[in-house]
Structure 1
Amino acid sequence: MTAVAVALPVLSLLAAAVSAGIALVAYRRRTRPGALALAVLTLSSAVWTASSAVALGTFDPGTRQAMETLVYLGRGTLPVAWLVFAVSYAGLSDRFSPAHLVAVSVVPATAFLLTATAPLHDLLWTDYRVVGSAVAGVRFDPGPLFYLHVGYSYALIGLGTLVLGWALAGDDRLRSMEGVAVALGSGLAFVASLSWLFGVVPVPGVDPTPMVLSVSCVLFAVVVFRRDLIGRSPAPRVLGRRVALEGFSDAVLITDAEGRVVDANASARERLPTEPVGEPVAGLLDAATAPAAGRHDLRVPTVDGPKPFSVSVSPVRNRFGRSIGSTCVLRDVSGRERREQRLAVLSRVLRHNLRNDVNVIRGHAATADGATADDDRAIAAMERSADRLAGLSRKAGTVERVVAAESEPVGEVDVGAVFGDAVDRVAASYPAVRFESTVEADRPVRADREVLYAVAENLVENAAKHGDGTVRVATSVAADGAHVEVVVVDDGPGLPDQERETLLADTERPLQHSSGLGLWVVRWGVGVVGGRLDASSADPTGTRIAVELPAA
């Protein structure tokens, strides 16, 4: 027992040295999340253990009781620092304001003041006395505020341990060794503190907690610096996600497994007529039931009245793959809906007026008597212009269908059959052109059939219109099987540079111009189905346009 008693001050000084060393290293890394709080935590441990070592050699009761002031400075600060460290490390510091820090520090600060004035009152203890001959242990009868301080300290340490455990459990990069080290370090100090509280200690009157803290600090040092616990703090990830969520322009609702909203971003709170947290998501979306995973078009009540929203629902799963809730992203599509309505009205009006004017031109041309050769040429010019206007009206309708299909899901289409139909249609309109088609059936791609047919028809028609009599259409499959390529070749003078820029430009520039809508249909249509375009010169003359489409 004597040897153990003599070793206690040495162990306390060792614990103080280890804690002070960790505090210094943590302070040097104070820019990292939780590092500054860790420095305060380990400095508190150093103060506690160092003052305990000195107190163990102080046998005068008055001086020994005065030493308790330094002991309680470290003992009272450590639980607060532990909670702040856990909160900072876990990325919850934005929810722990200075006011919260002041609030949780009231009890420890009061205990420190009561310790400094202990001889003047009996609130902390009575009958304070020094026991032992090898080391100066103490015994006393606890006062009412002593138990309050001890219970409060345990509560802070327990809460901080839960927060830190939650942060470690959510970090897949940390192995079980780190978690065991943190749990073991916290557990040893907790058991030592409880043994002192209930008087089950090897040396009477001596609190073993400061000595055990040396082992805890070594374990924390290994995890924090050897395993770079501070460097792998989840705080940037947690805070970054929260900032991104709050700054997201779309409304976001997070629900639990029962479909009740547990969190919402600022956009959702601003748009929805009621506070969403705590409400069933089905009621907020004015739906009969909570929407299933996927995308839904719903009219949702807002502060400005019901509006159309595109609602994307994704399940939230835990580490075991079990669904514990969902995220609902609400995108206001009222602007898109208005644009689509206006475009549809504009398209219908233009096409209607074009058709009427074309019919008028054709009617007058048919009734003209062609008295002279100039009249015949004028009539022919009117008929050609009427045909071009009719074609423009038809292509305007095609453009409308292509644009409308942009938001629709794609299916599986036989590209060989689509291009074969397009060749047959164009060949009927251009009987003087020779078509060499080697498109193969059973070439499935992922596309909308109507959009793909519009692309095929305009490519083949453009080749027939600008070629010198021969159009070749062929299909091939990429070596990796991921793409199907369709090639359309004509023997004309070649594609003008301006038309090539229209077809292959990465972006649409305001001054970009094409002689017709056909190439726009091709470009937009290929983009809608997720394909790629390439245009080059054919050998010896002409244009070669290749369309690469994703295989089904």
Structure 2
Amino acid sequence: MPELTPRRIAGVYLTFGVLWILFSDMVVYAFVSDPETRFRVEAAKGGLFVVVSGALVYWLSARAQQRQRETAERLRQQTRELSIFHRIVRHNLRNIATVIGGRTEAAREAGEVEPHLTVVERKADRLATLAEKASLLRGISAQSAGQRVEQDLAKAIAEICSQYQSAYPDASIEFDSPEHMTTLVPARMGFAVSELLENAIVHGGPDATVVVSLRADSETVKVTVEDDGPGLPDGERTAVEGDVEDVLTHSEGVGLWLVRLVVEKADGQLSVASSSLGGVAVTLSVPRADGGS
């Protein structure tokens, strides 16, 4: 339904009034010949017009107010998301700048550059990653809660696992899933799974063991990524299960916070538990929109 501006409401009311008068008068003059009866019918018709037109204007105004409330809530939510992300990124940028500045000063004083280059390069990569995730936020924040795409989720996650296996050949990545699972999934589901997988490999070390499992029933789709690493650092755990204030104050897990945002927009949940492999298991759970089995 188009936006109900005052001009459109007035236009609808005017159109309704003109059509009411024309057609109701045609009906009255066609079927009522007695002048006195016609007068009473016209009076009743006028009263009915007032009631019906009042109800129409009320309904249109209520719809317009509802649309305004929805827009205001959507803007409030997006502003909140951008504010949280801004503060997280600013925190990360400040830390990165401090490290690079410290390494530069140390290299200048010692007259040796080489020992500090690795750290500076790693921090530069971190800056590039933050820039990429900042652009991702724009799409995620604008994504509606009900935005879904039909996808063979089993095939998509298998491809993601294959890509990371190629990028980290020393890691062991297993995927436990039905052969096929075509369903409606959140538009950024692939990003969420990729982020969880990368996080598990990075924290688990070059020879990490990671198991990705996909399960679904008629109501829910669940993806679990578990590893044999040391577990999530406190800052990144906060991004998964902390409240807003905790995220604003402590979190450095930008990617995990974006995963949480994707899941919450799909009315899902992100949870952390101990892994049977000895590390941590992060489960992404979203309601199933197609009612499959």
Aligned partners of 1:407, 1:550: CA distance in 2, in Å? 12
Q: 1:441 to 1:382 in 2, by over 3 A?
A: same
Question: Per-residue CA shift, 1:483-540, capped at 9, x if unaligned?
Answer: 22211111111123443333124x4226443223111111111112232222101135
Alignment of 1:522-533 (within 5 A): 522-533=259-270
Q: Give how far 1:396 is off.
A: 1.6
- Of 382-391 and 534-543, more deviation after overlay is shown by 534-543
Q: TM-score if structure 1 supplies the norm length?
A: 0.34
In the alignment, structure 1 residue 437 sits paired with structure 2 residue 175: yes
Q: 1:413 pairs with 137, 144, 151, which one? A: 151
What is the correspondence of 1:224-239 to structure 2 with a 5 Å cutoff? none
AA of the residue aligned to 1:272: P
- Residue 473 of structure 1 pairs with residue 208 of structure 2: no
- The yes-or-no answer on 1:272 pairing with 2:6 is yes
Q: Tell me if the contact between 1:458 and 1:519 (Cα under 8 Å) persists in the aligned partners.
A: yes
Structure 1 spans left out of the alignment, 5+ residues: 1-251, 254-270, 282-324, 366-371
Which letter maps to 1:460? L
Find 2:189's aligned residue among 429, 432, 452. 452
1:493 equivalent to 2:227? Answer no
- In structure 2, what is the equivalent of residue 135 of structure 1? none
How many residue pairs get matched? 221
How far did 1:382 drift?
A: 1.1
**For 1:288-338, what per-residue CA distance to the aligned partner results, in whole angstroms no more than 9, with x for missing partners?**
xxxxxxxxxxxxxxxxxxxxxxxxxxxxxxxxxxxxx89551223489679
Q: Find out whether 1:503 has 2:237 as its counterpart.
A: no
Pairs within 5 Å for 1:217-366? 272=6, 276=10, 278-280=13-15, 327-328=59-60, 329-330=63-64, 331-332=67-68, 333=71
The change in CA–CA distance for 1:544 and 1:400 in structure 2 (over 3 A counts) is same
Secondary structure at 1:278's aligned position in 2? Answer: helix
Report SS of the residue matched to 2:239: helix
Return the offset for 1:424. 2.6
**SS state at 2:159 partner:** helix
Q: Deviations over 1:457-497 (max 9, x none)?
A: 1000000111141111111234xx32222111111111234
Whole-Å Cα distance in 1 between the matches of residues 135 and 142 of structure 2?
11
Secondary structure at 2:13 match in 1: coil
Query: Which of the numbers 114, 125, 129 marks the counterpart of 1:387?
Result: 125
Secondary structure (helix, strand or coil) at the match of 1:393 reads: helix
Q: Which amino acid aligns with 1:495?
A: L
Q: Cα gap change, 1:532/1:407 in structure 2, threshold over 3 Å: closer, same or farther? A: closer
Question: In structure 2, do the counterparts of structure 1 residues 470 and 273 end up closer, same or farther at CA, with 3 Å as the change threshold?
Answer: same
In the alignment, is the contact (CA less than 8 A) between 2:235 and 2:253 conserved in 1? no
**Is residue 446–residue 550 contact of structure 1 (8 Å, CA) maintained in 2?**
no
User: Given the superposition, is the C-alpha separation of residues 337 and 280 from structure 1 closer, same or farther in structure 2, using an over 3 Å criterion?
Assistant: farther
Partner of 1:286: none
| Inter-CA distance 437–338: structure 2 relative to 1 (3 Å threshold) | closer
Structure 2 CA distance for partners of 1:403 and 1:424, relative to 1, 3 Å: farther
Is the contact between residue 454 and residue 521 of structure 1 (CA under 8 Å) also seen in structure 2?
Answer: no
Task: Determine which structure has more spread, i.e. the larger CA radius of gyration.
Answer: 1
1:445–1:549 contact (8 Å) kept in structure 2: no
Q: % of aligned pairs identical?
A: 28
**Residue in 1 that maps onto 2:32:** none
Q: Is the 8 A contact 2:235 2:252 kept in 1?
A: no
Structure 1 counterpart of 2:276, one-letter code: D
1:513 maps to which residue?
Answer: 250
Q: Are residues 338 and 498 of structure 1, via their aligned partners in 2, closer, same or farther at CA, if it must alter by over 3 Å?
A: closer
Which SS does the other structure have where 1:486 is aligned? strand
Tell me if structure 1 keeps the 8 A contact 2:272–2:283.
yes
Gapped regions of structure 2 (runs ≥ 5): 17-55, 105-109
Alpha-carbon distance between aligned partners in 2 of 1:335 and 1:503, rounded to the nearest angstrom: 23
SS at match of 1:488: strand
Q: Deviations over 1:92-137 (max 9, x none)?
A: xxxxxxxxxxxxxxxxxxxxxxxxxxxxxxxxxxxxxxxxxxxxxx
Partner of 1:399: 137
8 Å Cα contact 1:463-1:490 kept in structure 2: yes
In structure 1, the partner of 2:51 is: none
More RCO (CA 8 Å, sep 6+): 2
Distance 1:274 1:395 in 2: 41
CA distance in structure 1 between the partners assigned to 2:13 and 2:167 by the alignment: 65
Establish whether residue 534 from structure 1 lines up as the match of residue 268 from structure 2. no
Question: How far, CA to CA, are the matches of 1:494 and 1:334 in structure 2?
Answer: 39
8 Å Cα contact 2:186-2:262 kept in structure 1: no
Match of 1:433, as an amino acid? A
Partner of 1:482: 219
Q: Contact 1:396 / 1:517 at 8 angstroms: preserved in 2? A: no
- Supply the distance in 1 between the matched residues of 2:230 and 2:111 (Cα, whole angstroms): 31
- Give the alignment partner of residue 428 of structure 1, picking from 137, 159, 166: 166
- Cα RMSD after superposing both structures: 4.2
| Alignment partners' CA distance in 2, 1:391 and 1:492 | 22
